[in-house]
Structure formats: C-alpha cells, structure tokens
C-alpha cells in the first residue's frame, strides 16, 4: 500500500462489480520509451464526405510535418487532420483502415522522406513554456483545435469540443491515469518519463475550463508513475512563479480493478458521484481528460507542436522488443511488424487496444490512428495463461448463475439482457437499461458458458437504434400522409364551397330576374337616371 | 475465433460447476447411505442411468450433440437429486417414471439446460409423490433405530422384485422391534398431531429422537456440502440464507404462539429435506430468481411455504412444492427487483 501524503490519498469510494484479469503489463513497461523509425508510407484517413475544394493538397504535392491536409473553414465541430511527417502525397484513395464496418475509408497516402530522423522533428517553439498563462481561453482552445487533439484514452472525441462545452462550467479536472486494461502501459510510461509535461497540460486545461481542483486518478499497480507524478506536483508547488495558479492538485490511488478507468467509473471512484442518466460529467462540474491528451495539449500550447505522433504500447509474446514507442499516425502495422522483428508468419490476429475492449484486425496494412494506444501481437490471441482458446463456435447455454451480474460495473443484469437480446424483446431490453451498458466485457469475461454477451448487446443496441429510425421514418410518413389527406380534403371542400357559392350566386341572379320584374325595371330606371344625370352635367 | 471484444475469458465452465455441485453432495450421499442403507446407493445408480439415457434419447430426437451436452453434467445432477429425494427401495420403475418425466418434460421439452422454468428434479419428485403417495412416504427408520437393514442382495431384490428371496417386503423392514411401523420424523409428527398428541408427548416417545438423530446428521452433512459450495462461490448466499432464516423464523413464530401444537424451529431446520433443499435444490440457478434482491425474496418465500405446508398441508415435507410454487413467481420477482443502475439515483455531492 502506497503511503498517503499531502498529495497522495486513497480512493474513498468504490465501484460495484469489476474483474481482476491477469495484467500482462510487465511485458511492455520494463523498457524506456523509444521512437519507432519512420515508415515509408503513411495512411491518413479523412472524412468520406469531403468536397475536392476542402483538400489543401493533391497527389504529387510535397507536405511538411504538421501541415494541414484539409480546409475545414474553422468549423469548430470539425477535426483538423495533418501530415504527420514530411513527404509527398502519393495518392488519395479508399483504403482499409480497420474501421469496424470493414469498409474502406478515404485516405491520404503520404510517401515519407526517409532522410529525416523523426526524433529531431520539432517545429520551433512558438510560445515560451510559461507564455500560455497570458493567452485567452479562446486562443488556447483554437490552438488545441488547430493541433487536431482528440481524447487519446480511446474514444477519440475532439478535445476542443469537450473543452468548449466545459468552459466556466466545471470545478474539477479529473485526470484519467487508471489504465485498467491488461497489457496497456503507455500512460504508465508517459507518466514515468513526462509527468511534468502531463501536469503542465493539466494546468492549461484547468485554466481553460476554470477548474479549481485537479485530481489524478491512478491504479495502485503503477507505483513508479505515482512517484514521478508526486515529484512533479511537489516541484510545481515549491517553485511559485508569478502566474502561479492556485489550485488543489492531488493524486488519488484506486485499487487495481477493471474497468475503473471508464470515465463514469472513475468519477464514481474519486467523488462517489454518479453521472445521471443522459447527462454528462460537466453536469457534475467535472471534466475528465486522459494523460496522453494532456501531454498533447502541453506539446501544442507550450511547444507549438502539432499532434502527429502518439505513444503506443507494442506488446504480446511475438514481439522481441516489447515496449512503448512514439509512432506517427498512419503508420501501417506491417511497418511495426518488420521494424520490431515480429515473427510475421505467426501473426494471425492483432488486437488494437486492450484485450477487453479492443478491436481485432487481421490485415497488417491498416494504419495506427489517434486512438490506437496499444497493439498486441500474440501467436494465438488466447494462448497466454489464464486465457483460454475460444475455438468452439457455439457456446453453451446461460444457466443464469449470476456471475455476470456480480461483475457488471453498472449494476445491470447481463443474464436478463442476454435472454431478452436473444429473444429480440426490444422493449424489455430498454426496461432493463440496455443502453447503460458500457460494453466493458466484464460479464463475458466471467461467463461460465463463455457466451459472447457484449456481442449480443451490440447487436440489440444497433437493432433498437435501427428500429427507432424506422419508426421515426414511418411516423413522419404517417404525418405526411395525414397532412396530405387533410390538404386534399380542404381543397375539396373549398372547391365545393366555391362551386356552391357561384351556383347560388348564379341561381339568385336568375331568380331575381325571374321573380322580380321590378328589379329589371329599377335597373332600367337607374340607367336612365345615369344618362339623365350625365346630360345635366354636360349642359 | 471471437470477432469482437472481449478476447479474454476466465471462468469455471458450466460442466465444472455442475461437477463441483455433485462433489459437494458427497458428504450427504455417504451419510444417507450410512443411515438408510444400500437402497440409497441403488437409487443413485439407477437414477443417474435413467437421467443420462433420457437426456441422450431426447437429444437424439432433437438432433442435438449428445456427448458434449451430457458432459455438462446437468442431467446427472438432476438424477442424483431425485435419487436422494425418493425413499430407498422404491420400485425401479417408479424412479424411472420420475426421472424420465423430469428430464423429458420438465427440462428438454422446454429446450434443455437453461430454458426450464421449473426445477426438473422437483417436478419429477412431485409427480411421484402425487402418483404413489404410499410408496413415496415409505422410508426406513434410520440405522440407529432399525430392527434390521436389508443387505445389498436384499436391497436389489426389494428394488427390482418388491420381495426378498426369504419373502420379506419393505414393510417388514420398516417394523421396529416392538412391531411399530416407522416413518420419517416429519411424517411421525404429522400423524401424531392428527391424533391429537402434543409436541412434548411426540418428542418424549422413545423412538422419536433416535430416528430424528439420523435425519439431523443427514442435514448436517448436506449443510457441510452446501458450505463448500458457498465458500467456493458456486452458489451465492442469498437463497440458502434467506430460506433457512425464514424457515426458522416462521417455525419459531408458530412455536411461540403455541409450543404444544407446533414443532420447535430447530427440528424443522434439521429434518426432512431442509438442508439439501436450501443449498442444492432452491439454488438451481436456471429456475431461481436471478436478481440479488429477488434471490432473497425467493429464498425467504420458499422457507415460509415449507413451514406452512409442513404444518397445515397434507404432506409431511414441502421443499419440492415450495420450490415449484416460487419457480412460477420468478419472472414477477425478477421484474420488480431490478437493481438500480449507475446514474439512476441522484446523489448529493459530497466533499472529495
């Protein structure tokens, strides 16, 4: 147990459920951070809905590192995309980038200049390390926007949007350094090597959103990272500058348990609060940022660097030199395989991310992206001890043992969700709060029948969403149909009324003529009178 | 291959869970064989064979894999539970009917393991109890009281032929030295109460306590197996605890009202099928309530009904009836006891 100090304390609250899988973290956290040699070719996916005008580069153009590839008209909801390294645009084409849909995505292919050594690539410092204190909040957010920073814990949500919606709304910045999934160690190594920079990033973020507290949430399996972070905080507190922020900065240590690093779970662990249904952390005056994101913010604000690389854990039993590497976005996995001497014949499936929430890919040509925090190369992804091979195509049936329910961090009843998903009872599923499932996979992990529960939930969620769209469409169609019916009926009645009116008018006119000869007479008299008047006027 | 996360997995597979439950039955099985004789062993062998053959038969008809399904050990467990519930020396064809009905009608016709709304073993047992009430309540006195216990050969003859080669029937073995036909303690008290006897008079009978002792030991051995399951996290505490507490509380409450008309709680707790029911029957996860709160309600209700039926009903024991009764209520219980999910309750912000 790590000793409590002024800065360090242990989490007072806990989350329900959770699991304790074997960590496998020591495979990759023994070596210091290194730079991965640059790849020959980078694949940079861009949105599929762009017009030609929005491309700032075309095939054959030279690009420099950090050059913007797209013109997005300063739209604050867009995400800037840059060339990670200097080179030449080879093509703009559809490529398999490992999208979960399996569909190829429009990508810019850059042939890099091999002569350059990546580690020396540093754009000039635009701002002195402390100069940011004088910048306005809007300027800071604009810089973060221009740098293309996203949440690097996995969700890849644009950071500037998250910051923008939190400005002056939050009092607490929670830094997510939990890293609760097995195998992944990039946040651990980042904190061990760069906690000052991460802290600086946290200070910048706190200034932007107006936070009064910074809480670092970290699991107790990273004692070295905790010490480094503590030193950085002590150092900051002991060297008061003129622009010193008066903040309470603390490290809160939680017992290692998966999935403590989920955003909502972390908030619950550190504050005892639950983000209400359909609300956001900002509604609790909280913003959560991952350490890698804060490092990127510091790099952008203090060193003027664009986000072009990230720290990636390369691990697994096939990797000769497992560790954490700075890797340019868009680097194909094949380059990692060849550079790190991974026995490629044995690579069958690669996991991007962790083994509990990651994604499996089999194509080595797909690129790394901003959210790629870990790549696992195992001979057999299930071969490691404690991990059994899932060779069976059919799982055995659920016996409602309830192991899943004790593992669920959200207090759902996975066994019931499974039952209703399988029988496609959508309404019952919503009643069972299916949409509160965070898909952490703890239920599948402990299932004695080895049911791929999360698969069932994903299927049910997408079916329900699809049905809702369909329902909305048919409701709209119904409204349109009803409106059309009303309109037609109205036109019909209007036409009928009009017809009746004219008919009546005509009828009354003829009636007048027939029944009232005096009318005729009076008309003649009136005419005569008019003639008479005219004559009198003339005379 | 798994196509989507999670890619790792660590759990005791279902067949191992079932195997451990069977293992946990062992102390109780050995005790029952010791106290009630070879007939128990015969029942166990017969019912296991019946259960496996019935399951295999239906799986064949349903075109399902036979070997892998049989190896989930669930049919075997059902057979063993029925064997332990029925009296020794029950004619072989009666246990056949019970087990086949349990496996075919109560389990496989619903879709097999995981789909049966009722506890199959209890369905089979209740069918037998209703159809053959005399045979199903003809228990031997426990060994410390028995005049003579059938040996292995006699047991075989009783089960398959109804008579031993020297012409003894089961009823002869049930006679005590003084010519009294013995039944289970619960059955004894039921009869005694109907004859207008008081609790103290029943307990003071010479043969009552020795007979009860056997059943108390039986319950203790099943309790030991149950605790093994509990400590290995194969069953959860809610159902057995709730059931035993509510059973004891209900019985004690009645006993408090009139200790001459109602048995004391401890006798209920340690006789009949109380312990095997609490740890091995009510805990069948497939047919039990599945929410944490629901399990407590489910267990407590079973305990309550056991006492009510034992005391006021027509049958001496009531575990099977109570379990089946609550099986019906499971969907309702589960519906109203959903746990509160994350974010559904607004908490007051506290200091960090």
List CB contacts (< 8 A) between A396 and chain B.
13-14, 72, 113
Mean pLDDT of A231-251: 80
Q: How far is A485 from chain B (nearest CA, A)?
A: 43
Q: How far is A401 from chain B (nearest CA, A)?
A: 5
Assembly ipTM: 0.86
B13-58: pLDDT as tens digits: 888 899 999 999 999 999 999 988 888 999 999 999 999 999 999 9
A11-41: pLDDT as tens digits: 999 999 999 999 999 999 898 999 999 899 9
Mean pLDDT of B113-141: 92
Q: How far is A465 from chain B (nearest CA, A)?
A: 20
Other CB atoms within 10 Å distance of the CB of residue A483: 10
DSSP string over A394-421: SPPPP----HHHHH-TT---HHHHHHHH
Q: How far is A60 from chain B (nearest CA, A)?
A: 38
pLDDT band, residue A120 (cuts 50/70/90): very low
Is B4 in contact with A359 (Cβ distance < 8 A)? yes
Is A400 in contact with B114 (Cβ distance < 8 A)? yes
pLDDT band, residue A385 (cuts 50/70/90): very low
pLDDT band, residue B6 (cuts 50/70/90): confident
pLDDT (0 to 100) of residue A435: 93
| Three-class DSSP labels, B232-274 | CCCCCCHHHHHHHHHHHHHHHHHHHHCCCCCCCHHHHHCCCCH
Mean pLDDT of B328-333: 96
Q: Note whether B349 contacts A: Cβ–Cβ < 8 A.
A: yes
**Nearest chain B residue (CA) to A412:** B341
Is A445 in contact with B72 (Cβ distance < 8 A)? no
Q: How many CB pairs under 8 A join A and B?
A: 164
Q: A211, A402, A409: best mutation site toward chain B, by most B Cβ within 10 Å? A: A402
**Of A100 and A480, the one with more pLDDT:** A480
pLDDT for A522 beyond 80: no
Q: Note whether B194 contacts A: Cβ–Cβ < 8 A.
A: no
Q: Note whether B338 contacts A: Cβ–Cβ < 8 A.
A: yes
Q: How far is B116 from chain A (nearest CA, A)?
A: 10
B81-94: pLDDT as tens digits: 999 999 998 999 99
**Nearest chain A residue (CA) to B339:** A411
Is A274 in contact with B343 (Cβ distance < 8 A)? yes
**Nearest chain A residue (CA) to B337:** A413
Is A360 in contact with B4 (Cβ distance < 8 A)? yes
* Cβ–Cβ < 8 Å for A105, A97: yes
Q: Note whether B340 contacts A: Cβ–Cβ < 8 A.
A: yes
Is B1 in contact with A396 (Cβ distance < 8 A)? no
pLDDT band, residue B207 (cuts 50/70/90): confident
pLDDT band, residue A387 (cuts 50/70/90): very low
Is A400 in contact with B350 (Cβ distance < 8 A)? no
How does A497-534 read in b/e, with b if 16+ C-beta sit within 10 Å? eeeeeeeeeeeeeeeeeeeeeeeeeeeeeeeeeeeeee
Q: How many CA atoms lie within 13 A of A539 on its CB side?
A: 6
Mean pLDDT of B325-351: 83
Which of A349, A447, A454 faces B11 most closely, judged by CB atoms?
A447
pLDDT (0 to 100) of residue A50: 77
What is the C-alpha separation between A191 and A189, in angstroms, rounded?
Answer: 5
**Of A142 and B141, the one with more pLDDT:** A142
Is B5 in contact with A359 (Cβ distance < 8 A)? yes
pLDDT band, residue A389 (cuts 50/70/90): very low
pLDDT for A74 beyond 80: no
Q: Which domains does chain A have, with CATH numbers?
A: 1-26+127-307 (3.40.50.11540), 38-117 (2.40.50.100), 398-539 (1.10.1060)
Query: Reading across the β-sheet that carries A41-45, which strands appear in turn?
Result: A41-45, A105-112, A87-95, A62-63
pLDDT for B294 beyond 50: yes
B214-228: pLDDT as tens digits: 889 999 999 999 999
List CB contacts (< 8 A) between A211 and chain B.
none
pLDDT (0 to 100) of residue B255: 93
The alpha-helical segments, DSSP class H, found in B37-118 are: 38-61, 66-70, 74-85, 92-100
List CB contacts (< 8 A) between A432 and chain B.
338
Strands A350-352 and A359-361: antiparallel
For residue B184, give both structure tokens: 């289970």
**Nearest chain B residue (CA) to A438:** B342
pTM listed for this prediction:
0.85
Judged by average pLDDT, the poorest of A322-326, B151-155, B309-313 is B151-155
A178-218: pLDDT as tens digits: 999 999 999 999 999 999 999 999 999 999 999 999 999 99
Q: Is A342 helix (H, G, I), strand (E, B) or coil?
A: coil
**Nearest chain A residue (CA) to B347:** A273
* Cβ–Cβ < 8 Å for A13, A274: no
Is B352 in contact with A458 (Cβ distance < 8 A)? no
List CB contacts (< 8 A) between B13 and chain A.
396, 448-450
A424-438: pLDDT as tens digits: 999 999 999 999 999
Is A273 in contact with B349 (Cβ distance < 8 A)? yes
Q: How far is B330 from chain A (nearest CA, A)?
A: 12
Q: What beta strand segments (E) does A357-479 contain?
A: 359-361, 374-377
pLDDT (0 to 100) of residue B344: 81
- For chain B, the average pLDDT equals 89
Query: Reading across the β-sheet that carries A213-219, which strands appear in turn?
Result: A8-10, A248-254, A213-219, A172-177, A286-290
pLDDT for B76 beyond 70: yes
Which of A400, A411, A415 faces B340 most closely, judged by CB atoms?
A411
State whether the Cα torsion A90-A91-A94-A100 is positive or negative. Answer: positive
pLDDT band, residue A361 (cuts 50/70/90): confident
What is the C-alpha separation between A91 and A107, in angstroms, rounded?
Answer: 8
**Nearest chain B residue (CA) to A348:** B1
Strands A105-112 and A87-95: antiparallel
Is B290 in contact with A416 (Cβ distance < 8 A)? yes
The residue extents of the domains of chain B are: 14-332
pLDDT (0 to 100) of residue A76: 63
**B23 membership: H or E segment, kind and range:** helix B14-36
Return the percentage of chain B with pLDDT > 90, whole number.
57
**Of A521 and B9, the one with more pLDDT:** B9
Q: How far is A80 from chain B (nearest CA, A)?
A: 29
pLDDT for A370 beyond 70: yes
pLDDT for A383 beyond 50: no
Which of B286, B342, B343 faces A399 most closely, judged by CB atoms?
B286
List CB contacts (< 8 A) between B17 and chain A.
399, 401, 448
Chain B residues 251-290 with CB within 8 Å of chain A: 285-286, 288, 290
Strands A87-95 and A34-35: unpaired
Mean pLDDT of A403-410: 94
pLDDT (0 to 100) of residue B153: 85
Q: Note whether B292 contacts A: Cβ–Cβ < 8 A.
A: yes
Which of A22, A274, A448 faces B12 most closely, judged by CB atoms?
A448
pLDDT (0 to 100) of residue A386: 41
Q: A271, A316, A399: best mutation site toward chain B, by most B Cβ within 10 Å? A: A399
**Of B68 and A190, the one with more pLDDT:** A190
State whether the Cα torsion A131-A132-A137-A143 is positive or negative. Answer: positive
A140-152: pLDDT as tens digits: 998 899 899 999 9
Mean pLDDT of B171-180: 73
pLDDT (0 to 100) of residue A421: 94
Q: Phi and psi (nearest 5°) for A144?
A: -65, -40
Q: B120, B343, B348, B349: best mutation site toward chain A, by most A Cβ within 10 Å? A: B343
Is B4 in contact with A454 (Cβ distance < 8 A)? yes
Is B352 in contact with A448 (Cβ distance < 8 A)? no
Q: How far is B344 from chain A (nearest CA, A)?
A: 6
Q: How far is A460 from chain B (nearest CA, A)?
A: 15
Mean pLDDT of A497-523: 79
pLDDT (0 to 100) of residue B351: 44
- For chain A, the average pLDDT equals 86
Is A277 in contact with B343 (Cβ distance < 8 A)? yes
């Amino acid at each position: 147990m790590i000793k409590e100090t002024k800065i360090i304390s242990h989490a007072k609250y806990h989350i329900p459920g959770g699991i304790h899988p074997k960590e496998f973290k020591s495979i990759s956290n023994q070596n210091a951070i290194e730079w991965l040699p640059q790849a020959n070719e980078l694949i940079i996916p861009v949105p599929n809905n762009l017009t030609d005008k929005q491309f700032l580069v075309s095939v054959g153009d030279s690009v420099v590192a950090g050059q913007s590839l797209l013109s997005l008209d300063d739209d604050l909801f867009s995400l800037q995309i840059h060339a990670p390294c200097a080179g030449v645009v080879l093509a703009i084409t559809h490529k398999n980038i490992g999208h979960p849909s399996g569909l190829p995505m429009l990508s810019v292919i850059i042939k890099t200049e091999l002569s350059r050594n990546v580690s020396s690539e540093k754009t000039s410092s635009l701002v002195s390390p402390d100069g940011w204190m004088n910048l306005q909040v809007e300027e800071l957010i604009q810089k973060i926007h221009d740098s293309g920073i996203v949440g690097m814990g996995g969700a890849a949500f644009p950071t500037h949007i998250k910051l923008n919606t939190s400005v002056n709304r939050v009092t607490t910045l929670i830094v997510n350094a939990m890293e609760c999934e097995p195998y992944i160690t990039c946040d651990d190594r980042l904190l061990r090597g760069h906690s000052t920079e991460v802290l600086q990033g946290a200070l910048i973020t706190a200034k932007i959103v107006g936070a009064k507290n910074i809480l670092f949430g970290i699991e107790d399996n990273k004692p070295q990272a905790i010490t480094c972070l503590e030193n950085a905080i002590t150092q900051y507190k002991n060297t008061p500058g003129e622009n010193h922020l008066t903040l309470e900065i603390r490290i809160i240590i939680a017992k290692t348990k998966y999935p403590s690093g989920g955003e909502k779970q972390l908030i619950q662990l550190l504050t005892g609060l639950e983000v209400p249904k359909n609300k956001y952390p900002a509604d609790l005056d909280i913003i959560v940022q991952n350490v890698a994101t804060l490092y990127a913010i510091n790099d952008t604000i203090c060193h003027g660097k664009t986000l072009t690389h990230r720290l990636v854990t390369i691990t697994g039993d096939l990797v000769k030199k497992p560790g954490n590497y700075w890797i340019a976005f868009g680097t194909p996995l094949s380059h990692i395989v060849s550079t790190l001497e991974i026995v490629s014949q044995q690579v069958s499936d690669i996991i991007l991310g962790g083994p509990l929430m990651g994604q499996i890919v089999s194509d080595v040509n797909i690129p790394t992206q901003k959210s790629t925090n870990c790549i696992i190369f195992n001979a057999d992804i299930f071969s490691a001890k404690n991990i059994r091979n899932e060779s069976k195509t059919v799982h055995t049936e659920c016996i409602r043992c309830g192991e899943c329910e004790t593992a669920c961090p959200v207090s759902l009843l996975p066994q019931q969700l499974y039952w209703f998903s399988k029988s496609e009872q959508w309404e019952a599923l919503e009643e069972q709060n299916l949409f509160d499932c965070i898909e952490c996979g703890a239920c599948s992990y402990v299932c004695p029948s080895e049911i791929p529960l999360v698969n069932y939930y994903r299927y049910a969620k997408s079916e329900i969403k699809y049905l809702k769209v369909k329902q909305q469409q048919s409701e709209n169609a119904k409204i349109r149909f009803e409106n059309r019916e009303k309109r037609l009926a109205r036109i019909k009645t209007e036409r009928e009324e009009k017809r009746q009116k004219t008919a009546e008018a005509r009828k009354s006119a003829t009636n007048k003529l027939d029944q009232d000869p005096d009318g005729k007479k009076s008309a003649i008299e009136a005419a005569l009178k008019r003639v008479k008047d005219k004559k009198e006027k003339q005379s | 291959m798994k196509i989507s996360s999670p890619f790792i997995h660590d759990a005791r597979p279902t067949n191992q869970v079932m195997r451990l439950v069977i293992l946990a039955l062992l102390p109780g099985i050995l005790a029952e064989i010791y106290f009630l004789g070879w007939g128990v062993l015969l029942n166990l062998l017969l019912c296991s064979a019946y259960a496996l053959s019935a399951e295999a038969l239906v799986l064949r008809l349903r075109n399902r894999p036979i070997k892998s399904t049989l190896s989930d050990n669930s049919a075997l467990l059902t057979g063993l539970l029925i064997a332990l519930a029925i009296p020794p020396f029950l004619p072989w064809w009666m246990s056949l009917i019970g087990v086949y009905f349990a496996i075919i009608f109560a389990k496989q016709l619903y879709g097999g393991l995981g789909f049966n709304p009722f506890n199959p073993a209890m369905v089979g047992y209740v069918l037998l109890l209703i159809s053959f009430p005399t045979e199903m309540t003809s228990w031997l006195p426990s060994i410390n009281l028995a005049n003579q216990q059938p040996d292995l050969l006699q047991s075989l003859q009783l089960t398959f032929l109804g008579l031993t080669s020297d012409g003894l029937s089961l009823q002869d073995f049930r006679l005590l030295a003084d010519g009294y036909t013995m039944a289970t303690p619960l059955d004894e008290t039921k009869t005694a109460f109907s004859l207008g006897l008081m609790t103290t008079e029943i307990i003071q009978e010479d043969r009552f306590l020795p007979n009860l002792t056997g059943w108390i030991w039986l319950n203790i051995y099943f309790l030991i197996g149950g605790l093994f399951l509990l400590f290995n996290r194969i069953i959860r505490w809610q159902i057995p605890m709730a059931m035993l507490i509510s059973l004891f509380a209900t019985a004690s409450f009645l006993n408090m009202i009139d200790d001459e008309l109602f048995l004391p709680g401890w006798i209920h707790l340690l006789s009949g099928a109380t312990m095997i029911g609490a740890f091995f029957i009510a805990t069948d996860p497939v047919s039990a309530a599945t929410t944490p709160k629901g399990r407590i309600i489910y267990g407590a209700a079973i305990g309550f009904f056991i006492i009510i039926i034992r005391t006021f009903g027509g049958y001496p024991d009531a575990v099977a009836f109570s379990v089946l009764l609550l099986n019906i209520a499971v969907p309702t219980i589960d519906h109203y006891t959903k746990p509160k999910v994350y974010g559904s309750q607004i908490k007051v912000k506290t200091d960090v």
